[in-house]
A and B are shown apart, each in its own frame.
Chain A
């Protein structure tokens, strides 16, 4: 039986993964990347003057503006046509292109990208909603704008990462610690493992070595699972991260373990059948925690509650 992903599913999955730069084309506003204060001319400007402006400023076209409002555009092609027809004595307003394709400053950059593609123009005047010219945008402006934004975001991410991983060096105190606390609901298998996943991510962020992250994650997962399976009202999972050690504490308010030595035996479990069918209750959880942790303490009183503590030393075995 061949049962593989069809090409359609595959490409839709690819389409869903829009790249960061594609996303930015939608996020960035034209006003953020355009060139402000563009060179403009008035309708009564002579073509001889315009020719000089294009030559001296090395540009290939200018928006024509009358009292702030965009009224036309005059490109080097229009000038060549005028020269060929011997109309060099005319004024800009007589021969300019009046049907101007423009974009709004508050629109997304994608609008400009689409218009560049559709009309093949090298530049588009940018206007506000009142029709006043506020800038000009070229394809170069779009590329520069994207690169600038990517660089800013990359830089922010770097700072963020640095700060997270140097938290213990940056903060001065006699004892600096980070405490993560999670409420774990009884019998909530749907959210089982979520607290552990969050702990894992937090440890990765503060720069713990991957093997240590794994050991703490496995122990935390087993402790979390025990709260879900056994605790009457669920419980709390607390992870204390210190420069020299990580302490995981799972605490609940009952039912309590009658015989701790028995509970610690591999394969011993009081989990009911329906929980075993889910793959839990193998009687391995506490053993896994003991194997992963450097120290494990289990205290319990029937009718009062259970407190499990697992400690991981970062200095001695930190690198392993």
Chain B
């Protein structure tokens, strides 16, 4: 399942970057504490979080994540989206809760990495 397919299936809004239509998302991780993400999320995974500030971009970029799904309609500011574009980080948004997104990802076959 590619990030592009996930965007379609979950009807996510693309806020920054280009969802990859070639390589498969290798797993998923959900947390709002950045240090947990730094410790546990794996490169190529999709990260589900409520956080919408600029440091999300730094974390996703450093870890080489496939993309970030920001839940409950939390809205990153313009500077955050611009930084994400510059760093090549894909920021996605949905009104659904983190739990609902993770459940949907699991149904699509995305597993904990």
**Smallest Cβ distance from A132 to chain B, in angstroms?**
46
Task: Enumerate chain B residues within 8 angstroms of A282, measured Cβ to Cβ.
Answer: 33-36
Q: Which one of A190, A192, A225, A284 lies within 8 Å of B39 (CB-CB)?
A: A284
Q: Is B98 an interface residue (CB 8 A)?
A: no
Alpha-carbon gap, A5 to B3, bound state (A): 14
For chain A, give the interface size range.
Answer: 20 to 34
Q: Is A200 an interface residue (CB 8 A)?
A: yes
Alpha-carbon gap, A217 to B7, bound state (A): 28
With both beta carbons as reference points, the residue of chain A lying nearest to B15 in the complex is identified as: A5
Task: Enumerate chain A residues within 8 angstroms of B6, measured Cβ to Cβ.
Answer: none
Q: Is B23 an interface residue (CB 8 A)?
A: no
Instruction: Determine whether the beta carbon of A193 is less than 8 Å from that of B59.
Output: yes
Q: Is A291 an interface residue (CB 8 A)?
A: yes
Task: Enumerate chain B residues within 8 angstroms of A285, measured Cβ to Cβ.
Answer: 35
**Smallest Cβ distance from A210 to chain B, in angstroms?**
8
Task: Enumerate chain B residues within 8 angstroms of A1, measured Cβ to Cβ.
Answer: 11, 95
Count contacts on B: residues with CB < 8 A to the other chain. Answer: 33
A214-244, CB < 8 A from B: 214, 217-218, 221-222, 225
With both beta carbons as reference points, the residue of chain A lying nearest to B57 in the complex is identified as: A193
With both beta carbons as reference points, the residue of chain B lying nearest to A194 in the complex is identified as: B58
A162-218, CB < 8 A from B: 189-190, 192-194, 196-197, 200, 210, 214, 217-218
With both beta carbons as reference points, the residue of chain B lying nearest to A283 in the complex is identified as: B35
Instruction: Determine whether the beta carbon of A4 is less than 8 Å from that of B35.
Output: no
Contacts A190-B79, A280-B35, A288-B35 hold; do A221 and B11 have CB atoms under 8 A apart? Answer: no
14 A-B pairs whose Cβ atoms sit less than 8 Å apart in the complex: A192-B58, A193-B61, A193-B62, A196-B62, A217-B62, A222-B38, A278-B34, A279-B51, A280-B33, A280-B35, A282-B33, A284-B36, A288-B39, A291-B39
